A and B are shown apart, each in its own frame.
Chain A
Amino acid sequence: MNNDNKDVLVEVKDVSKHFKVEGGILKAVNHVNLEIRRGETLGLVGESGCGKSTLSKVIMGIYPPTTGQIIYHGKKELVVSKKNLFEYAKVAQIIFQDPYSSLDPRMTVGSIIEEGMIIHKMYNSKKRRERVYELLKLVGLNAEHAGRYPHEFSGGQRQRIGIARALAIEPEFIICDEPISALDVSIQAQIINLLYDLQKKLNLTYLFIAHDLNIVKYISDRIAVMYLGNIVELSSSEELYKNPLHPYTKALLSAVPVPDPKIEAQKKRRLLDGDVPSPINPKPGCPFAGRCPYATEICWKDFPEPEMTEGHLVACHHVEKINNIK
Chain B
Amino acid sequence: MKKILEVKDLHVSFHTYAGEVKAVRGVSFDLYEGEILAIVGESGSGKSVTAQTIMKLNPMPPAEILGGSIFLGDKDIVKASEKEMMTIRGKDISMIFQDPMTSLNPTMPIGKQLTEAIRRHRKMSKSEADKEAIRLLKLVRIPNPESRVFQFPHEFSGGMRQRVMIAMALSCEPKLLIADEPTTALDVTIQAQIIELLKEIREKTGTAIMIITHDLGVVASMADRIAVMYGGKIVETGTVEDIFYRPAHPYTKALLQSLPKTDMDKNTRLVSINGTPPDLLNPPQGCPFSGRCKYTMKICLNEMPPNFEPSKNHKAACWLLHEDCPYTEGKAVDGGEGNE
Residues of A within 8 A of B (CB): 47-48, 154, 156-157, 184-190, 192-193, 196, 211, 213-215, 217-219, 221, 238, 241, 251-252, 254-261, 263-264, 267, 269, 271-272, 275-276
Asked whether A275 and B260 contact (CB < 8 A) given A214-B217, A258-B220, A260-B244, the answer is no
Q: CA A217 – CA B273 in complex, angstroms?
A: 21
Choice from B42, B187, B192, B217 contacting A48 with Cβ under 8 Å: B187
Contact A259 B220 (CB under 8 A): yes
Contact A261 B159 (CB under 8 A): no
| Beta-carbon nearest neighbor of B292 in chain A | A186
Choice from A157, A192, A196, A255 contacting B188 with Cβ under 8 Å: A255
Choice from B159, B220, B244, B258 contacting A186 with Cβ under 8 Å: B258
Q: Which residues of A contact B85 (CB under 8 A)?
A: none
Asked whether A255 and B191 contact (CB < 8 A) given A186-B272, A190-B274, A193-B270, the answer is yes
Residues of B within 8 A of A (CB): 42-43, 157-160, 187-193, 195-196, 214-221, 240-241, 244, 254-256, 258-260, 262, 264-266, 269-274, 276-277
Q: Which 3 pairs across A and B sit closest by C-beta, in order of nearness?
A: A257-B217, A218-B260, A255-B192
Q: What's the A-B contact tally at a CB cutoff of 8 Å?
A: 120
Contact A258 B217 (CB under 8 A): yes
Contact A154 B196 (CB under 8 A): no
Q: Which residues of A contact B190 (CB under 8 A)?
A: 47, 275
Q: Which residues of A contact B274 (CB under 8 A)?
A: 190
Q: Which residues of A contact B262 (CB under 8 A)?
A: 214, 217, 241, 258, 263
Q: Which residues of B contact A215 (CB under 8 A)?
A: 260
| Beta-carbon nearest neighbor of A278 in chain B | B157
Closest chain-A Cβ to B14's Cβ sits at a distance in Å of 19
Asked whether A261 and B42 contact (CB < 8 A) given A189-B270, A238-B265, the answer is no
| Beta-carbon nearest neighbor of B191 in chain A | A255
Q: Which residues of B contact A257 (CB under 8 A)?
A: 191-192, 195, 215, 217-218, 220-221
Contact B219 A259 (CB under 8 A): yes
Contact A192 B187 (CB under 8 A): no
Asked whether A219 and B266 contact (CB < 8 A) given A256-B217, A259-B216, the answer is yes
Q: CA A260 – CA B241 in complex, angstroms?
A: 9
Q: Which residues of A contact B241 (CB under 8 A)?
A: 261
Q: CA A188 – CA B254 in complex, angstroms?
A: 12
Q: CA A268 – CA B273 in complex, angstroms?
A: 33
| Beta-carbon nearest neighbor of A255 in chain B | B192
Contact B214 A185 (CB under 8 A): yes
Q: Which of B160, B221, B256 has the most CB of A within 10 A?
A: B221
Q: Which residues of B contact A255 (CB under 8 A)?
A: 188-189, 191-192
